[in-house]
Amino acid sequence: MGKTSVLAAAMLALAATPALGAEGFSWGGDFRFRIESLNHIPTDIPTYEFYQLYNRDRTRLWAKYGFNEDIDFYARLTNEFRFFDTSDGRQDPGTWEFLGEVTPDQFYLDLRKLANGLITTRLGRQDFIYGTGKILADGTPLDGSRTFFADGAKVTFNFEGHSLDLLGLYTAQQPQPVINNQDTNLIETDQWAAGLYGKYNRFEQVPFEYYWIYKHEDDTATSYRNKLGKFVTADANFSTFGFRVMPKFGYGFTGNLEVATQAGSQGTDDVNGSMVDASLSYSPDLLPNFKPLLKLGYWYLSGNEPDSSRNEGWHPIYGRQPQDNWGELLGYTLVGSQYSVFGWSNFSTPFVAMEISPIQKSRLTLRYSWVGANEDDGLGGGPGKDRGGLFFALLTFEVLPQLKGHLWGEWFDPGDYYRPTANGDSFVRLNIEYSF
């Protein structure tokens, strides 16, 4: 996912959202410049791989009006355009034209301190991002990180050391209104969800979260295919139940454990997915200026047994975006699977990582993942369940409070899950962001 830049044409936008409760009018914006290279990334379509080099530019403008310290209205416009290099046989999908579609990606009203401070609400178009993003994050996965929104409502009950969010959200295939409409799909079909998400912090050493999310998807791909090899489509209705605990063990050790299960139906399938996300981190009290951190982890997403009458594969809810355990490259390999791009399912992946701050206001992350599939579903075109080895490197930096960026690289050595012609591949990005 990427873009090119014409700084003079920047319609910029948000990185410095105004403080809650500020009265009167405020506005701002930000501009994001990216260059991205996708080098021979295999997919679950046997004859297709990603081979692209492009510049990707996102511009955003926001405005906010505070009626008083408890009532705000916030709106933001977002545009993204991309320039593709077609030399050496690289692909150009022919989308995201210069200053094309402009989307109101935020459009909401905040009401605080209702019922003597017990209740806070946010009504309208907004981002629903919770936990590490495994369950709720990206409502618009088909435009990458351009937008994340859903239309809906969030009602938060604030107790002592405990908050409970009641959620309702709707994501349209082509959300409206749009300026200069280009008929861009932001998700495959119309979908909606409702549920609750709780955060409990009264036990300081063992904070935890819990959730239940019910989701409906209109006419989405099932796990079975027709005679032409295309996925049969049907409505999906399923619930996801889960919890996340984040213990602080002391002596620099912290943990994360998230477990979730799914139950429901889609077409002739029962939906029975499961997920485990576990990690242990150690921050030694050494070299405080460098802030070192070591991390061991494991991420499991159930896969579908091809010959069973159920779909045991994990069904991503609104978590179809790059994940902190894996990054971005693997998300492209899922094109051609039941859930398509960033449709995380059928993974069994231990990993080891380290982080360090080499200079002030910077952070370097290095990670290696042994990526497997827990079911041999045949989608990759190979005979086995070894997806391959993934090396990830990320350097974030801050030049000024308004000017930040990162360098991102991933290198993947495909295993026998993929067809024998799959080569070593990579994903590389330069990212610069300016806000005002």
CB 235 within 8 A of CB 217: yes
Which of 147, 154, 150 has the alpha carbon at shortest distance from 123?
Answer: 154
**Tokens 């070593």 belong to which residue?**
424
* pLDDT for 429 beyond 80: yes
CB contact at 8 A, 320 and 342: yes
Q: Are 332 and 38 in contact (CB under 8 A)?
A: yes
144 in helix, strand or coil? helix
- A 10 A CB-CB count for 211 gives 23
User: Measuring CA to CA, how many Å separate 143 from each of 159, 173, 180, 217?
Assistant: 37, 11, 16, 19
For 291, the token pair is 């802030």
**Residue 11: Cβ-neighbour burial (10 angstroms; 0-12, 13-18, 19+):** middle
Q: Model confidence over 242-299: pLDDT tens digits?
A: 999 999 999 999 999 999 999 999 988 899 999 999 999 999 988 888 999 999 999 9
Q: What is the pLDDT of residue 21?
A: 65
Residue closest to 20 by CA, chosen among 125, 109, 118, 140: 109
Please report the pLDDT score of residue 99 as a whole number.
80
Query: Would you say 164 and 157 are in contact if contact means Cβ atoms under 8 Å apart?
Result: yes
The pLDDT assigned to 20 comes to 60
Q: What pLDDT band is residue 16 in, cutting at 50, 70 and 90?
A: very low
Residue 223, pLDDT score = 83
CB atoms closer than 10 angstroms to residue 83: 19
**What SS3 state is found at 173?**
coil
Q: Are 1 and 56 in contact (CB under 8 A)?
A: yes
Q: Count the alpha carbons within 13 Å of 259 in the hemisphere toward its beta carbon.
A: 2
How far apart are the C-alpha atoms of 4 and 84, rounded to whole Å? 8
Q: Please say whether the beta carbons of 211 and 243 come within 8 A.
A: yes
Q: Which amino acid is at 306?
A: P
Each residue's pLDDT tens digit, 226-242: 777 788 899 999 999 99
| pLDDT score recorded for residue 305 | 86
List, in order of start, the domains of the chain with CATH numbers.
7-435 (2.40.160.100)
Mean pLDDT score, 104-110: 98
- Give percent of the chain above pLDDT 70: 95
Q: What is the C-alpha to C-alpha distance for residues 313 and 51, in angstroms, rounded to an integer? A: 28
pLDDT at 10 > cutoff 90: no
CA gap 273, 263 in Å, rounded? 7
Residue (of 73, 99, 197, 81) closest to 146 by Cα position? 81
**Residue 150 near residue 129, CB atoms below 8 Å:** no
Across residues 79-93, what is the average pLDDT? Answer: 93
* pLDDT of amino acid 14: 33
| DSSP single-letter state for residue 141 | G
Q: In this predicted structure, what is the pLDDT of residue 18?
A: 55
48-62: per-residue pLDDT in tens? 999 999 999 999 999
Q: What is the mean pLDDT of the chain?
A: 92
Q: Is 241 exposed, middle or buried (0-12, 13-18, 19+ CB in 10 A)?
A: middle
pLDDT of residue 4: 31
Which tens digits make up the pLDDT trace of 360-417? 999 999 999 999 999 988 888 899 999 999 999 999 999 999 999 999 999 999 999 9
Burial of 150 (0-12, 13-18, 19+ CB in 10 A): buried
Rounded Cα gap, residues 330 and 41, in angstroms: 8
> Quick one: what percent of the chain has pLDDT higher than 90?
81
* 181 in Cβ contact with 101 (< 8 Å): yes
Give the Å distances, CA to CA, from 356 to 248, 359, 362, 365, 408.
20, 9, 8, 7, 15
Token pair 């295939």 in the structure block, residue: 173
Model confidence pLDDT, tens digit, residues 156-202: 999 999 999 999 999 999 999 999 999 999 999 999 999 999 999 99
